[in-house]
Chains A and B, each alone.
Chain A
Amino acid sequence: EAQVTQNPRYLITVTGKKLTVTCSQNMNHEYMSWYRQDPGLGLRQIYYSMNVEVTDKGDVPEGYKVSRKEKRNFPLILESPSPNQTSLYFCASAEGLAGQEQYFGPGTRLTVT
């Protein structure tokens, strides 16, 4: 089944404790992206990647890192999480160039205390 998977689905952590949210797609998509969703603010793009070893900042990249060493994986790293990073995070992938339908994962709900 074609899908985007994220792990973990739920995470409660403390301020400053490094964490990684994994994202994997099995559709051989070139484009991948991370978003955060907060009430009333829609989805805001954190980072995106057009291909392996190519990453770019979205609108809200501060406090986040990403890497794209393999085509199928696009992990989101929070080196020192803070309470304002409490949010619902979605990973998405798309075939080929940007400007295509994005397939979203199920989301990761992160709480930083």
Chain B
Amino acid sequence: GENVEQHPSTLSVQEGDSAVIKCTYSDSASNYFPWYKQELGKGPQLIIDIRSNVGEKKDQRIAVTLNKTAKHFSLHITETQPEDSAVYFCAASTNAGKSTFGDGTTLTVKP
């Protein structure tokens, strides 16, 4: 089955700095790669996603890149703010309905 590895498990940055979280996947059938943000006591919420036919996608301060050949994708957050502090999850999904999540990255943005 699919295996998704996510690094780092914790990340601490100064406000205004950039944060990068990386994920690798194993199943070539995976074709949808979302990133979710989970705040304390809440369910995960989508922040950005990318499909296998696209190499990069950007939404204001957030960007995701995908390298299909190497089977890895990354989340980039620029100009970080304290409200970006949360747990971030990457995931890989197939058209068959299976979704595999990474173990999560706890991001702390220090004011």
Interface of A toward B, CB cutoff 8 Å: 4, 31, 33, 35, 40-45, 48, 50, 56, 58-59, 90, 92, 97-102, 104-107
Contact = CB atoms under 8 A, between A and B. Distances in A.
B47 to A, nearest CB: 10
B98 A90 contact: no
B99 to A, nearest CB: 6
A11 to B, nearest CB: 16
A33 B97 CA distance: 9
B31 interface: yes
A50 B49 CA distance: 20
Interface in B18-74: 31-32, 34, 36, 41-46, 49, 51
Given A44-B101, A45-B100, A59-B100, A102 B46 contact: yes
Interface of B: 1, 6, 9, 31-32, 34, 36, 41-46, 49, 51, 89, 91, 93-104
A104 B43 contact: yes
B43 A33 contact: no
Contacts of A56: 96-98
Contact of A101 (B41, B49, B95): B49
Contacts of B102: 42
Contacts of B91: 43
30 contacts: A31-B97, A33-B97, A35-B101, A42-B102, A42-B104, A43-B101, A45-B100, A48-B97, A48-B98, A56-B96, A56-B97, A56-B98, A58-B98, A58-B99, A59-B98, A90-B43, A98-B32, A98-B93, A98-B98, A99-B51, A99-B94, A100-B32, A101-B49, A102-B34, A102-B44, A102-B46, A102-B99, A104-B36, A104-B44, A106-B42
